[in-house]
C-alpha cells in the first residue's frame, strides 16, 4: 500500500490538503474524485519515512471515548455514516485518529461496510469494537451498539484510572522513602565523618556499618544504577516470553492485599466485556475469544481458553471456571445459572456492576491499609539512619561528662 500527498479543491473552491492510501496513483485519483475533489497536485510519499500507521501509536482512551459518543449521537440523529465520519475526522484533535478516519471515510465512500473498514486499523479499533459493530450492522441497531460501546469504554477508562490511582500511591511513597534515604546516606551522613574520625572512642558497630555503606554508595553508585537497569532489562525479557509472563501474572494475583484488588479489577473487566458482547448477540465462542485478549493477564487468559475449548466440545463455561482458583464461587454460580436460564448476559452484567462497586471499596480500603504501613516503613528507614548519627553523639556527651 502506498501513500500519496494531495493538494485539491472541493466543489466550493475550498483548498484541501492531506494524504490518501492507495495501491496506485490511479486508485488514489479515483478515491479523491469520489470525494468530489478537484486534484491540483498528487505525489507519492516515501514509504520508508511515511510509517505513521505502523509504529504502534495508539489513540488516547479519552479521545476514543469522545469519538464514540459523538458518532453514536450523530447516527441517532439520522446523519449518514459517511457524513458522520467525515465530520468527526475534521473535528478530532488527535492526529493519528484524524488520519485513520480519512481512510475509513474513503472505504465507506467506496461501499465498504463500516466493520470491514475499521477492521483494517487494529491499533485504533480493537477486536471487541469490530465484532460489536458487525453485530450492530447485522441487527440494524448500529446506533444502539455505538452507545453501548461508548458506555463500555467509559466504564473501562474510569476503572483503569481507579486502579492507577490506588496502585500509584504506594509506589510514590516507596520512591520518596528510598530517595530520602539515599540523600541522607550520600549527602548528609558524610558531613559527620570528620567528627567521627576525631573521636577517641571506638564507633558502635551499627554506625561503622552505616559509614561503610555511605562510602560505598558514593564510590560505587554506578554499580547500583547498572544493577537496576539489568533487573529492568531481565524483567522485560522475561515477560516477553509466555512462561515468564505467566509467572509474573500469577505472582501479581497472589500478592497479599494488592493481589485481591488486582483480581477484582480483572474480573470486573472480564464480566463487563462478556456481558456487552452477549447483549449484542455476538456468538459465545467469539465472546470468549475476544474476552481472553482484553483481560491482560496470562493466568486468566488460559482459564478462559479452557472455557473456549469446553464450549467448543459442547460443555459448560462454568465447569473450567469452577476448577480454577482465580474465579470466586459467586461468578461461577451466576454463570451456571445464566447458562441454564438463558440469561447469561444479564447475570454477567450484574456481576460486572458488583465487582465495579467492590473495586471502589477495595481502592479506599487499600489506601487506608497501606498509608499507615508505608509511613511506618518510611519512619523506620529514616530513623535507622538518624540513629547511626545519634548513638556516637551520646558517647561524646558521656566522655565530656
pLDDT tens track for 328-355 = 998 899 999 998 888 898 999 999 999 8
- For the ranges 51-60, 69-78, 113-122, 306-315, the lowest mean pLDDT is seen at 51-60
Neighbouring residues of 163: CB distance < 8 A, sequence distance ≥ 6: 261, 262, 265, 359, 363
User: Cα(122)–Cα(101) distance, rounded to whole angstroms?
Assistant: 13
pLDDT at residue 91, as a whole number? 85
Torsion of CA 100, 106, 111, 114, to 10 degrees: 20
Please report the pLDDT score of residue 360 as a whole number: 84
- 166/358 Cα distance (integer angstroms): 13
- Give the per-residue pLDDT at 249: 92
* pLDDT greater than 80 at residue 19: no
Q: So where are the chain's domains?
A: 2-50, 59-154
72-75 long-range contacts, CB within 8 A, separation 24+: 72/143, 72/146, 72/147, 72/149, 72/150, 75/142, 75/143, 75/146
Instruction: Average the pLDDT over each of 52-61, 260-269, 302-311 and give the range with the smallest value.
Output: 52-61
pTM assigned to the model: 0.70
Domain 59-154 CATH assignment equals 1.20.81.30: yes
Judge whether residue 299 has pLDDT over 90: yes
Binned at pLDDT 50, 70 and 90, residue 152 comes out as: confident
pLDDT over 90 at 94, yes or no: no
Q: In angstroms, rounded to a whole number, what is the distance separating the alpha carbons of residues 7 and 34?
A: 15
Task: Provide the 8-state DSSP code for 16.
Answer: E
Q: Which pLDDT value is given to residue 58?
A: 67
Q: What is the mean pLDDT of the chain?
A: 83
At the top level of CATH, which class does the domain 2-50 belong to? Answer: alpha beta
pLDDT at 169 over 60: yes
Amino acid at each position: 500500500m502506498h501513500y500519496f500527498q494531495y493538494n485539491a479543491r472541493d466543489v466550493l473552491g475550498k483548498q484541501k490538503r492531506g494524504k490518501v492510501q492507495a495501491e496506485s496513483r490511479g486508485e488514489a485519483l479515483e478515491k479523491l474524485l469520489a470525494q468530489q475533489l478537484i486534484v491540483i497536485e498528487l505525489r507519492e510519499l516515501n514509504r520508508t519515512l511515511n510509517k505513521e500507521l505502523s509504529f504502534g501509536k495508539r489513540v488516547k482512551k479519552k479521545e476514543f471515548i469522545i469519538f464514540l459518543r459523538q458518532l453514536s449521537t450523530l447516527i441517532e440523529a439520522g446523519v449518514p455514516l459517511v457524513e458522520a465520519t467525515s465530520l468527526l475526522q475534521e473535528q478530532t484533535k488527535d492526529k493519528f485518529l484524524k488520519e485513520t478516519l480519512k481512510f475509513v471515510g474513503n472505504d465507506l465512500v467506496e461501499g465498504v461496510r463500516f466493520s470491514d473498514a475499521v477492521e483494517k486499523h487494529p491499533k485504533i479499533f480493537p477486536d471487541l469494537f469490530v465484532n460489536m459493530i458487525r453485530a450492530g450492522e447485522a441487527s440494524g441497531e448500529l446506533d444502539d451498539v455505538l452507545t453501548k460501546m461508548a458506555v463500555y469504554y467509559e466504564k473501562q477508562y474510569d476503572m483503569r484510572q481507579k486502579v492507577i490511582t490506588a496502585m500509584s500511591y504506594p509506589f510514590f511513597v516507596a520512591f520518596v522513602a528510598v530517595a530520602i534515604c539515599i540523600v541522607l546516606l550520600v549527602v548528609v551522613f558524610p558531613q559527620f565523618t570528620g567528627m567521627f574520625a576525631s573521636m577517641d572512642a571506638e564507633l558502635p558497630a551499627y554506625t561503622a556499618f552505616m559509614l561503610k555503606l555511605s562510602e560505598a554508595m558514593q564510590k560505587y553508585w554506578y554499580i547500583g544504577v547498572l544493577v537496576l537497569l539489568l533487573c529492568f532489562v531481565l524483567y522485560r525479557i522475561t515477560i516477553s516470553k509466555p512462561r515468564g509472563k505467566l509467572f509474573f501474572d500469577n505472582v501479581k494475583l497472589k500478592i497479599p492485599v494488592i493481589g485481591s484488588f488486582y483480581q477484582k479489577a480483572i474480573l470486573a473487566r472480564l464480566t463487563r466485556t462478556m456481558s456487552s458482547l452477549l447483549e449484542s448477540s455476538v456468538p459465545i465462542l467469539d465472546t470468549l475469544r475476544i474476552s481472553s485478549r482484553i483481560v491482560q493477564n496470562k493466568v486468566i487468559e488460559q482459564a478462559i481458553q479452557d472455557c473456549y475449548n469446553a464450549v467448543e466440545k459442547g460443555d459448560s463455561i462454568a465447569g473450567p471456571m469452577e476448577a480454577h482458583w482465580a474465579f470466586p464461587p459467586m461468578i461461577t454460580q451466576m454463570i451456571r445459572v445464566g447458562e441454564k436460564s438463558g440469561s447469561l448476559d444479564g447475570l454477567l452484567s450484574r456481576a460486572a456492576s458488583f465487582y465495579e462497586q467492590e473495586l471502589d471499596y477495595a481502592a479506599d480500603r487499600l489506601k487506608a491499609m497501606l498509608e499507615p504501613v508505608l509511613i511506618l516503613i518510611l519512619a523506620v528507614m529514616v530513623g535507622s539512619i538518624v540513629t547511626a548519627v545519634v548513638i556516637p553523639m551520646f558517647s561524646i556527651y558521656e566522655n565530656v561528662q
